[in-house]
Every structure is written in structure tokens, then in C-alpha cells.
């Protein structure tokens, strides 16, 4: 087939838009969507100046999503004195997985000339995810521990690095899966958190518990297109999946969405369009509740992190893993 925009051979067909695109027009269309997101989500406010630039911390795992996001952002903002970018990689201690993906990260940041910080669970918590999965003192999925540890590192390091925004590489499929999951689980509070963690206007979110605003500039790009972009640009990407991945419900939704998309192109986009409105209403409601609860937030007696308990969830889990050793 010929490209819809020129007479070259198409490398892809986007059923949801009806477009066939050649390599050049495809690459351009992905980049345009990311830049539009940066604009529409107001990532770069007018207050950012060469004298007082914004610091963006980009979560870089070495997987295709974060590699493509980092590459496009650096391509767009490397010469812009209003933005300083730092790539942050978390090393969980997963044999045969993280070392390889760290290599991909190092290749990329060297290529782009980007500042890179690597933070390891071993140094931070004196544990590795492989041991956590084996000990499993709380009888949970490995990802349930890992998510708590990761969030702790992201928020502490984002603060330490002086981040104005924390950017992650979630793509359209990830976001539509999370949206569906929240709806099917009837979890309105989670919808509110999801909204505050990625979608909607920053100025309304600035004061959510002093949280550093998150952004997901890749959230309009389907997963397949992210993979094709990485392949065509020959970006260093680590493809393997974490051996502890076990999100079975998410996996089911992933299959369901792919099937829906095949028979009803555009489903992911329409899910997100409607969901964002719902989630905004949910966020408004829960923000009000959070203000009421704010007084009960104290400091963790072990690490000083904000928590409503004596010891925060992260310290509780770290202690539980060490006690089981
Ligand atoms: Fe951690 Fe789960 Fe991701 Fe593996 S799949 S890195 S265990 S959150
Ligand atoms: Zn703590």
C-alpha cells in the first residue's frame, strides 16, 4: 500500500484513523503526538525560563516505551534552555533482566548525552527483588512489593533531583488497560489517583499532598506503534519481560482490548476520552476528602516519609523481608 500522505510504500496501517504511513510520515506522526501532549498538558509552563528552567526527571527502564519517550524528548528539548532533563533508572535486582536493560539505558544516554542516575534496591533497601519473590513474607505478588519500593524511590529521588515533573513512558494501551481495570473493579478512588498521576491540568494538581506532578507524554501512542518506532529508529531497547510479572487481570484486559481494537478500531481512544471525564470528577471528590484527612498524615518513625501509620508501607515491607531472611 502507498502512504496516505505521499507516494512512498507504507510501513504501517492505523485502522483507527484509516491512515497508511511510510517510514518518514509514521515517525513524524509519533513525534507530533508526543509534542502535542507536552503542549496540551502544559508540561512547559510560561514560568520556565533559561534562568529558571524546569527539571524533568524521566523514568528510563530500558524497555521500548521509556526509550522512545526519552529519545523524542531529548530530540525536542536538548537545545531548549528552559528544560533540564535527567534520566532515572531503577535497578530492582532481577537476574537476567535488569542488567541487560540497564545496558540499553546506558547506550541510549551516552548516545543522547543525557544525565543519568541509577538507583538500586540493594543500596536503598539492602534487598533484591529476586529474594523478595522467594521470601514473600506477606504472601503477595512480587509486583505488589516492587510497586511500593519503586514509588518510594521515584518520589524521594525526584525531590532530591529538584524535579518539577516526573515523566513516564506509559503508552495508550497501558492507559486504556488501567482505565478498564479501574472501571471493572469499581475502584473510583483509584480512578482519582490515576487522574492525578497523569491526566488533567497541572495547576489543579500542584497541591495534591506536595506530590511532584507526573506526566505521560506517550499516552496517545498505541503500544505497537511505540515498538515500530523503536525498531525503525534502531534505538537500543531491551525486549524481555520481567520474570516476576504476574498481573493476570491486566493480561486478560490486554487480550480483550486487542480483540476489541481489531473488530472496532478506535476503542482505546474512545475509552480514554470518556474515562478522563469520569476520572476528573472522581479526582475532584477525592481531593476534597484528602484535605479533610490531611491532618492525620504524620511521619514514618523509621524513614520520615509521610504516612498515616506509625511506620510507612515501604519500611513495613522492607522490615518484613529482612525478618524472613
Ligand atoms: Fe517489579 Fe513486577 Fe515490574 Fe518485575 S514486573 S519489575 S516485579 S513491578
Ligand atoms: Zn518509612
- Rounded CA gap, 286 and 140, in Å? 27
Rounded alpha-carbon distances, angstroms, from residue 16 to 8, 65, 278, 298: 21, 20, 23, 48
- Rounded CA gap, 213 and 200, in Å? 11
Residues across the chain: 325
Taking ligand 2, which is a single-atom ion, which protein residues have CB atoms under 5 Å away? 300, 302-303, 305, 312, 315
The answer to whether position 246 is within a domain reads yes
The answer to whether position 213 is within a domain reads yes
The answer to whether position 32 is within a domain reads no
Sequential pLDDT tens for the chain (325 residues): 999 999 999 999 999 999 999 999 999 999 999 999 999 888 888 889 999 999 999 999 999 999 999 999 999 999 999 999 999 999 999 998 888 899 999 999 999 999 999 999 999 999 999 999 999 999 999 999 999 999 899 889 988 999 999 999 999 999 999 999 999 999 988 888 888 776 655 555 554 555 788 899 999 999 999 999 999 999 999 988 889 987 678 889 999 999 999 999 999 999 999 998 888 888 888 876 666 666 677 899 999 888 889 999 999 999 999 999 8
Q: Is the CB of 130 under 6 A from ligand 1?
A: no
If you take atom 5 of ligand 1, which residue's CA is the nearest one?
A: 245
- Rounded CA gap, 31 and 71, in Å? 10
Q: Which ligand is nearest to the CA of 310?
A: 2
Strand extents, DSSP E, 161-296: 165-167, 214-215
The answer to whether position 19 is within a domain reads no
CA 33–ligand 1 middle distance (angstroms): 28
3-state secondary structure at position 86: strand
- Rounded CA gap, 106 and 60, in Å? 10
Task: Report how many domains make up the chain.
Answer: 1
If you take atom 2 of ligand 1, which residue's CA is the nearest one?
A: 143
Please give the DSSP secondary-structure letter assigned to residue 207: T
For residue 178, give the nearest of 201, 202, 195 by alpha carbon: 195
The answer to whether position 41 is within a domain reads no
Cα separation of the two ends of the chain: 60
The answer to whether position 13 is within a domain reads no
CA 314–ligand 2 middle distance (angstroms): 6
- Rounded CA gap, 233 and 68, in Å? 9
Domain CATH code at residue 163: 3.40.50.620
For residue 62, give the nearest of 197, 219, 236, 278 by alpha carbon: 236
Structural domain of 184: 49-297
CA 155–ligand 2 middle distance (angstroms): 13
From 143, 238, 241, 243, give the residue whose CB has the most ligand 1 atoms within 8 Å, as the site to mutate: 143
Q: How far is CA 17 from the centre of its chain?
A: 25
The answer to whether position 20 is within a domain reads no
The answer to whether position 239 is within a domain reads yes
Q: Which residue's C-alpha cell is 534487598?
A: 127
Amino acid at each position: 500500500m502507498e502512504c496516505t500522505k505521499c507516494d512512498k510504500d507504507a510501513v504501517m496501517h492505523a485502522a483507527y484513523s484509516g491512515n497508511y504511513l511510510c517510514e518518514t510520515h509514521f515517525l513524524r506522526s509519533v513525534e507530533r503526538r508526543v509534542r502535542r501532549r507536552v503542549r496540551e498538558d502544559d508540561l512547559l509552563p510560561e514560568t520556565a525560563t533559561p534562568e529558571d528552567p524546569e527539571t524533568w526527571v524521566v523514568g528510563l527502564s530500558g524497555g521500548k516505551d521509556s526509550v522512545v519517550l526519552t529519545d523524542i524528548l531529548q530530540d525536542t528539548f536538548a537545545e531548549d534552555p528552559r528544560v533540564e532533563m535527567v534520566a532515572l533508572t531503577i535497578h530492582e535486582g532481577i537476574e537476567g533482566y535488569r542488567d541487560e536493560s540497564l545496558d540499553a539505558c546506558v547506550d541510549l544516554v551516552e548516545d543522547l548525552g543525557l544525565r543519568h542516575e541509577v538507583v538500586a534496591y540493594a543500596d536503598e533497601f539492602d534487598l533484591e527483588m529476586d529474594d523478595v519473590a522467594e521470601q514473600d513474607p506477606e504472601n503477595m505478588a512480587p509486583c505488589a512489593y516492587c510497586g511500593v519500593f519503586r514509588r518510594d524511590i521515584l518520589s524521594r529521588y525526584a525531590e532530591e533531583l529538584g524535579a518539577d515533573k516526573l515523566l513516564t513512558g506509559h503508552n495508550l494501551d497501558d492507559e486504556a488497560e488501567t482505565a478498564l481495570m479501574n472501571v471493572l473493579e469499581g475502584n473510583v478512588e483509584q480512578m482519582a489517583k490515576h487522574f492525578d498521576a497523569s491526566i488533567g491540568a497541572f495547576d489543579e494538581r500542584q497541591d495534591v499532598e506536595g506530590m511532584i506532578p507526573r506526566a505521560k507524554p506517550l499516552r496517545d501512542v498505541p503500544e505497537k506503534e511505540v515498538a515500530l518506532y523503536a525498531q525503525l529508529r534502531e534505538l537500543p531497547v531491551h525486549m524481555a519481560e520481567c520474570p516476576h510479572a504476574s498481573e493476570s487481570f491486566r493480561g486478560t484486559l490486554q487480550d480483550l482490548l486487542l480483540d476489541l481494537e481489531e473488530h472496532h478500531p478506535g476503542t482505546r481512544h474512545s475509552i480514554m476520552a470518556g474515562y478522563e471525564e469520569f476520572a476528573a470528577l472522581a479526582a475532584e471528590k477525592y481531593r476534597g476528602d484528602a484535605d479533610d484527612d490531611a491532618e492525620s498524615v504524620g511521619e514514618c518513625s523509621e524513614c520520615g516519609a509521610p504516612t498515616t501509620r506509625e511506620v510507612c508501607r515501604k519500611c513495613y515491607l522492607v522490615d518484613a523481608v529482612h525478618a524472613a531472611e
